């Protein structure tokens, strides 16, 4: 049974329609995942915490899925996420800048 079939079966009192908005479908989909495959999809080994100096917070994100032999390439991000209104609305000359003043 694929994820679409599981999703459809998990919504016994309603079906997924083209008129459903994200406020309806996302909670239903997350509930379906937690009920049917929580230990697989939300396995802690698939996530990592990244620090964002722009918003002074750690954010849990999905780990990169590719590994290169000998760690020749290390996937990741050098600059954390930005919150709206936390820094100036322009590109800094140095793209490694965490907070744009």
Per-residue model confidence as pLDDT tens for the chain (101 residues): 566 665 555 555 556 778 888 888 888 888 888 888 888 888 999 999 988 877 888 989 888 888 788 878 777 766 767 777 777 778 888 888 777 77
Give the CA distances from residue 84 to residues 57, 81, 87, in Å, rounded to whole numbers and listed in that order.
14, 10, 8
pTM of the model: 0.55
Q: What is the pLDDT of residue 21?
A: 87
Q: How do the domains of the chain map onto residue ranges? A: 3-42
Q: What is the pLDDT of residue 5?
A: 61
> CA nearest 80: which of 62, 57, 101, 64?
57
């Amino acid at each position: 049974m694929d994820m679409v079939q599981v999703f459809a079966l998990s919504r016994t009192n309603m079906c997924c329609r083209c008129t459903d908005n994200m406020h309806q479908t996302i909670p239903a989909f997350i509930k379906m995942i937690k009920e049917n495959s929580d230990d697989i999809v939300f396995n802690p080994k698939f996530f990592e915490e990244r620090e964002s100096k722009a918003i002074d917070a750690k954010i849990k994100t999905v780990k990169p899925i590719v590994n290169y032999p000998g760690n020749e390439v290390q996937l990741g991000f050098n600059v954390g996420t930005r919150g709206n209104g936390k820094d100036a609305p322009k590109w800094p000359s140095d793209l490694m800048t965490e907070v744009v003043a």
